[in-house]
Each structure stands twice: as C-alpha cells, then as structure tokens.
Structure 1
Amino acid sequence: MDVIVKYFSDFNTQQLYEVLQLRSEVFVVEQDCVYQDMDGKDQKAIHIVGYVNDKLVAYTRVFQPGDYFKQASIGRVVVSPKNRGAAYGQKIMNASIDYCKNQGFPFIKISAQCYLDRFYKDLGFIATGEKYLEDGIPHQAMTLEF
C-alpha cells in the first residue's frame, strides 16, 4: 500500500470524492449511522490516504494539538470493505502514528468505536475514561503516548 500525506487543498475533486465516498460507504451505509460526516473539520486535518494500484483502500485524518482535542488526534479511520483482511487498517494507522511522531506530538487521543478495542490496543493505545455513545455507536477515549 502506498501512503500519501495530504492537506485538504492538495486533493483534486476526484480524490476528494473518493475519500468522501469511502467514508460514507462505511460510516453511514455499512454502520447504518445517520450523521454529518462532512463536519467542517476536513479543512484543518492532515489526510493520510492509502492506495493500492491507484485505488483508495484506506484513510485517516489527523489533527494537530488543539484543532480537535487538546492533544493530537486521529479519526475517520476507514478501510474499504472490498479490501479488508490485508492489514491495511494497521498500515494506515501506523502511518498516521508515524506522522504524529515525526511532527513531535508526544500524545495522541482518539475516540474509538468500542468494537475496535483490540485493534487499537494492539497499536499501543490505552482505553481511558467511561464508554459513551457517539452518533448512536458505543465509543471510548483511547490514548497513545510516546
């Protein structure tokens, strides 16, 4: 998987459409969750995109400290349903974590869907605080310190 780091302004319309289509396919349709995916925060985010043979297969968005949480954060972690089982989730998350490390961010906070607890713990995240509902889906705060 080829990983590319982009600012919002680096996307052409086709690339942006592919990202929004993938996020909608998974977070709205597959997870049957009606929520506002285009939340006005993409313009501040750093976008980590993963391609295989020029096809978008994985994505995250990263926020610098203070842009979403007080700490750096990673969100909208998604892998195309057609491309699951090839460790693209781990690869895109490792690329996102590496980006944060390279920027000198000492701490990452995420709002993780609870069913992905083991996935994030395997990456080094630790659950913090109580579980809560976000858009009708159980979530928990998790952190990673370097």
Structure 2
Amino acid sequence: MIRIKNINTHSPYYQEMRELRNKVLLRPLGIPDHSWEMHDERSWHFVALENDNVIGCAVLVPSEEHKTLAQLIQMAVDPDVQGKGIGQLLLKEIITFAKSKSLKEIQCHSRHYAVDFYKKADFTTYGETFTEVGIPHNHMKLELH
C-alpha cells in the first residue's frame, strides 16, 4: 500500500527524498546534486512511501510575500513506478494540506510534457511558455476554494 507523508528535513525519509530528486530531476539534465534545496528548510515536504521506501516526492514552498500562496517544486516519482497514480496521490494530499493551511493558490513551473498531469488535478496554465533548466515549461496554478 502506498501512503503519503508530510515530513521535515530532520526526517529519516528526507535523505531518500533528496536522492530521488537528484536521480529523477537533476542528474538527467546535468544539474549538480542538491542544487534545488535552497528553500528546503522553510518548506513543506511530501513523500510517497511503499514498504517504507520513498517512491515519490514533492516540495511546497510558502511564499514569503503572499501568505496565501505556495509554489510546488521538485515533484518526482521513481521511474520504475511512474504511470501508476502516485503523482496524483501526492497532489491530492498536497492540495488537502494547502487548504488546511488556508492557502488560496498553488503555483508551479510544469515541464511542458507534464502539463496534462497537472490539468488532471485542475491546475490551469497561464502566461507564455518559458525555458527553465534548458526545458520548455509552463506556468500553472490551482486556485483553492
């Protein structure tokens, strides 16, 4: 059974989460390990666990300027289990958590090929396509009610 857990940087799962982020998101692009951890200390971290192994993760970074806004970053699912709904389970838990914190909006920079994944969770695109880390991305947001 897969379970989603909200953790912090002191959790034993945090190191596994860091490794998954490096493996899935950074190394394939030649980006140095751990280079997207600048907000980790002040962020909320979510992991998908199967048999106590981290198989998915995401980071929700609260906005310092707008208290009702957060940015979803570093969402990754182990390639061996992609396409099995784990990312959607993570998103569902993150959305529930965001609502419990009285957030009104979640934003993300979606890699172009992942736009439909976020649309399934009712995210919408806005603005122009842009390039980040050498890959086309779209601005996306989910307004919470």
**Could you tell me the TM-score, scaled by structure 1's length?**
0.88
Q: Which runs of 4+ in 1 moved over 3 A?
A: 67-70
The Cα of 1:68 is off from its aligned counterpart by 9.4
How far is the alpha carbon of 1:124 from its aligned partner?
A: 0.4
Contact 2:8-2:14 at 8 Å conserved across structures: no
Matches within 5 A, 1:113-128: 113-128=111-126
Deviations 1:32-79 (A, max 9, x none): 342563432111110011101111111001122327998212111100
Percentage of identical aligned residues: 23
Q: How far apart in 2 are the matches of 1:33 and 1:122?
A: 29
Name the counterpart of 1:7: 8
Note the residue ranges of structure 2 that are not aligned, 5 or more in a row: none
Cα distance in 1 between the residues matched to 2:30 and 2:139: 20
For residue 43 of structure 1, give the secondary structure of its aligned residue in structure 2. helix
State how 1:43-82 maps to structure 2 within 5 Å: 43-66=41-64, 71-82=69-80
- Mapped contact 1:79–1:88 kept (Cα < 8 A): yes
Query: Corresponding residue for 2:87?
Result: 89
Q: CA RMSD in A?
A: 2.0
1:102-141 maps to which residues of 2 (within 5 A)? 102-141=100-139
- Structure 1: segments with no counterpart, 5+ residues: none
Does the residue aligned with 1:77 lie in a helix, a strand or coil?
strand
